[in-house]
Amino acid sequence: MPASLLVWSLTAVILLAVLTQRWWEPKLAARGVNVHVYPWRWWLIGYPRVAFRMWWTWRRVCHINGLSVSFSPTQRVIGRNLVVQGTPLKPKTPLMGLPMPTRTGLRVRVRLHPGQTPAPYLAAAHAMEHAWEVHTVRVSSPVRGEVLISVIPMDPLGREALPPAEGPGTLAVLVGRVEDDAPWVLDLRHTPHWLVTGATQSGKSTLLSALVHGLARRRVALVGIDCKGGVELGLYAPRLSALATDRTEAIRVLGSLVELVRDRMRLCRAASVRSVWDLRVEDQPVPVVVLVDEIAELYLTDGTKKDREEAELCGTLLLRLAQLGAALGVHLVLAGQRVGSDLGPKVTALRSQLGGRVAHRSHDSASAEMTLGDVSPDAVVVAQSISEHEKGVAVVTTTGGQWMRARSNPVPAKDAAAEAERNSSLTPPLPGIERKTRVMAGGETAG
């Protein structure tokens, strides 16, 4: 073997060993270098390997999953009444573009044959994952006549979540990470109202803890409605401007919030503006974020007339806040295991007003369908694939009917409660609600 070839071979082996081992990551981390910002192994090893596997298996994947087409007829007429159906000859594989690398995967565009739709590609996404040995394959069609295949080789949500941090703006909170390793910022100014669903121990409370942890130090009024006796949201009571622990108290609080919304409407009308955000900064009222844990408790009844009337009133007040509150600085974050029409006639109307959707693992397909079906039907299948071991993982809707997988920061409830206690001095009073809060805390009957 020539000496030069031996030197190059040894260099390649050493380079391969360095890039595929993790012994150098702690050394760089000790120097303050974030190794995830410099994905050397992915660029030099992972991307070429995945791209070659895609190119090598593309024709077979297309043939097996019915993505190839034939322009020759698939049947012949023999005689007068006999038709012979055959297998298409020389099927043509769709033209795949050059896989373009991204920070956490790669993307490739595929040109559709005339008459094809993206549906077969969407159905073949799971087969592509196995053929290319990657974690996730996403199929979309941003341009007519093309499909965009996004490949994520490894699960970015499997790593330790990002630490809680400030998001941009008063109502924007960094609550976790999305599947492309970008921060998941829940921005109530951009999407005013949110619906969070999922089974027990799926991550709903963790998401609420991350949200409270981020909002506690902001100029925001937090209102809690927890009809399970306050066992969940009661931990954050020092930072809550009001806390309702049963449906009767919830009606009082919601009714006061509707009155507050009307006052803000008059304020905006007097200033000739369309929302509180158009007012001068010094005149803008404090934003209000209403957190509801287990919304079903507001709608379930025992069949008595009083219960039915209270559930009807709760539904009306929540719907009114959802319809009017966005422009007036009142935002809803409603959480529950199941939010469907079986809870009451007004639940469907309320759900349509909640533009943000977060679907954690559910026990049945109907729950995922009720959360995501009217926004993005494709996301329903992904939500159903979340396993019991993926606590905190959810499917989150974005603008334009798009969706993404995300995982909330594992903020313990005690940490969020400690943050609420530290910032209790920032709790703003709300007109018409502060008196009722004191009455509730004293255990008396509100007048």
pLDDT tens digits, one per residue of 340-362: 777 777 788 888 888 888 988 88
Q: What angle do CA 39, 207, 337 make, to 5 degrees?
A: 125
> Which one has a higher pLDDT value, 433 or 31?
433
- Would the CATH topology of 31-154 be identical to that of 157-442? no
Q: Which residue has the higher pLDDT, 168 or 316?
A: 316
- Establish whether 272 is an annotated binding residue: no
More confident residue, 430 or 156: 430
Residue 387 labeled ligand binder:
no
Report which of residues 94 and 7 the model is more confident about: 94
pLDDT at 91 over 80: no
d(CA 216, CA 222): 8
Distances, alpha carbon 313 to alpha carbons 255, 305, 394, in Å: 9, 12, 31
**Could you tell me the pLDDT band of residue 37, with boundaries at 50, 70 and 90?**
very low
Distance CA 212, CA 239 (A): 9
**Local confidence band at 164 (pLDDT 50, 70, 90 cut-offs):** very low
Tell me if 204 is assigned to a ligand binding site.
yes
Amino acid in position 307: D
Find out whether 201 is annotated in a ligand binding site: yes
Is there a binding annotation on residue 335? Answer: no
pLDDT confidence of residue 318: 92
Single pTM value for the model: 0.69
> Average model confidence (pLDDT) for the chain?
79
pLDDT in tens, 101-135: 877 788 899 998 888 888 888 888 888 989 988 88
Q: What is the mean pLDDT of residues 418-427?
A: 91
Does residue 313 carry a pLDDT above 60?
yes
Query: Do the annotations mark residue 199 as ligand-binding?
Result: yes
Who has greater pLDDT, 330 or 101? Answer: 330
User: DSSP assignment, residue 360?
Assistant: -
What confidence score (pLDDT) does residue 328 get? 92
Tokens of 179: 């599947």
Q: What is the DSSP string of 64-83?
A: HTT--B-SS-SEEEETTTEE
**In the chain, domain spans:** 31-154, 157-442
What is the model's pLDDT at position 212? 93
DSSP letter string, 286-327: PPEEEEEE-GGGGT---S-HHHHHHHHHHHHHHHHHHHHSGG
The answer to whether the annotation marks 424 as part of a ligand binding site is: no
Tell me: is residue 200 an annotated ligand-binding position.
yes
* Of 73-77, 219-223, 329-333, minimum mean pLDDT range: 73-77
Q: CA 101 to CA 135: how far, in whole Å?
A: 16
pLDDT band, residue 289 (cuts 50/70/90):
very high
What is the architecture, at CATH level 2, of domain 157-442?
3-Layer(aba) Sandwich (3.40)
Confidence at 221, pLDDT banded by 50, 70, 90: very high
Quick: pLDDT tens for 249-258: 999 999 999 9
pLDDT of residue 27: 52
Per-residue tokens: 363: 């026990």
Max Cα–Cα distance, the chain, nearest Å = 96
**CATH fold for the domain made of 31-154:** Threonyl-tRNA Synthetase; Chain A, domain 2 (3.30.980)
Backbone angles phi, psi at 254, to 5 degrees: -65, -40
